[in-house]
Amino acid sequence: MLASLVGALQGAGHENLVILPAAGEGWLARELSGTGATIEYFRLDRPFSPAFASWLGDLLRRHRVELAHSHEFTMAVYGAWAARKAGIPHLFTMHGGRYYAEQLRRRVALHLAARGSTAVVSVSHNLARHLARDLRIAPSRIVTVPNGVRPPQVLGTVPTLREQLALDLDDRLVVAVGNLYPVKGHVHLLEALALLATRHPNLHVAIAGRGDLETTLRARARELHVDHRFHLLGLRSDVGDVLAAADVFALPSLSEGVPLALLEAMLSARPVVASAVGEVPAVLGEAGAGLLVSPGDARGLANALDTLLADPATARRMGNAARTRALESYSFDAMLNRYLELYADASGNHPHDGRPERVRQSEGQSLPHARTPGKRALVR
């Protein structure tokens, strides 16, 4: 989402400073390559660091940033702190899990960040309700901006994913996209594959993502005797091609907000089987855009996959309904325009301590405000 947002903002003539962790894997910097955005890297060696807040505030001043937009708990807290030091408006977006709620000090820190920010953004109504309750702030202080995506580009590179996996014409492929962490529930998808082994001996499962569970999942696949039909693809930049190869898209997560992978699969017209968690039921809606199962239920997941694999005509209808649903409710342009509104409101309502306000006329944006901040920092 951050990379797509920066690319669109740069294309519209806005300057962006993106602040990334120095110890990261580098994939986000690669996604931003060619956008023209400025990238700086940070190191945070301890949970509580006034020195880091000062460094971040100095960085914002040095780049003459006019608005800061942070993502998730750690950078929401430090972004609010640094923006206050720099005398600029700040907003932050929370994307999913409520790991901040496990400790009182984290809830207090995020509460203070919310009080010092012009907007608190949630990607789903369900998460917004949790934020209001966990942080003890008024629900009206939280703005819900659902994630939006563009249809993933199909590069059409050779060989295709099915060729890479050496699949035959009659082999079926279920695809999941997500990092290999317990919350993504991939072990349950693996167990569903084993349950379907007899009924669908030509079924394969492929997961695009990287993470700590790779070794564990491979070992479990061997135990279940399906390792020859279970494929871990690693981090993929060609998600459109991965989805294009799939007969069914699976989202076996135990917790979610509004997952971008789900929206991309829907825009790719893939039939969906997903856990009924977070905002996923609302995303799929009641238009037959997907099948929902209980989280952590491998047998329920297997039964839902079997339903679609056994009835290709129904799967096609469901995929088309998913695409229509995503186009109507989760477009990238709708998300971009909502954030631009928040940026304009934050900049217009924030005292700038007598400093000259650099604003830039927005062109080609459907906004009620003509003024938007000229340079912003997006902090990952």
Please report the DSSP string for 96-110 in residue order: S--GGGGSHHHHHHH
Does the pLDDT at position 338 exceed 80? yes
Q: Report the pLDDT value the prediction gives residue 94, as an integer from 0 to 100.
A: 94
pLDDT(370) > 50: no
Three-state SS at 235: coil
Backbone torsions φ then ψ of 323, nearest 5 degrees? -65, -45
Contact 134, 101 (CB under 8 A): yes
Q: Within 13 Å of residue 154, how many CA atoms lie on the same side as its CB? A: 14
- Are 205 and 230 contacting, i.e. CB atoms less than 8 angstroms apart? yes
Distant-in-sequence, close-in-space partners of 120: CB < 8 Å, separation ≥ 6: 91, 92, 94, 114, 131, 137, 141, 142, 143
Domains annotated on the chain, with CATH: 2-148+331-379 (3.40.50.2000), 161-329 (3.40.50.2000)
**pLDDT level of residue 352 (50, 70, 90 thresholds):** low
Q: What is the mean pLDDT of residues 116-127?
A: 93
**pTM (global) more than 0.85:** no
Q: How far is CA 255 from CA 99, 176, 276, 322, in A?
A: 11, 15, 9, 21
Q: Which of 125-139, 143-157, 352-366 has the highest mean pLDDT?
A: 125-139
Higher pLDDT, 348 or 341: 341
**Angle between the 2-11 and 332-349 helix axes, to the nearest 10 degrees?**
70
Q: What is the pLDDT of residues 233-250, one digit of tens each?
A: 998 989 999 999 999 999
Average pLDDT of the residues in 100-104: 88
Which alpha helices (DSSP H) does the chain contain, by range?
A: 2-11, 27-32, 50-62, 72-86, 104-115, 125-135, 161-164, 186-195, 214-223, 239-244, 260-267, 280-284, 298-309, 312-329, 332-349
Least confident segment among 50-54, 93-97, 306-310, 324-328 = 93-97
Q: What is the mean pLDDT of residues 343-366?
A: 52
CB 188 within 8 A of CB 277: no
**Both tokens assigned to 299:** 């047998």
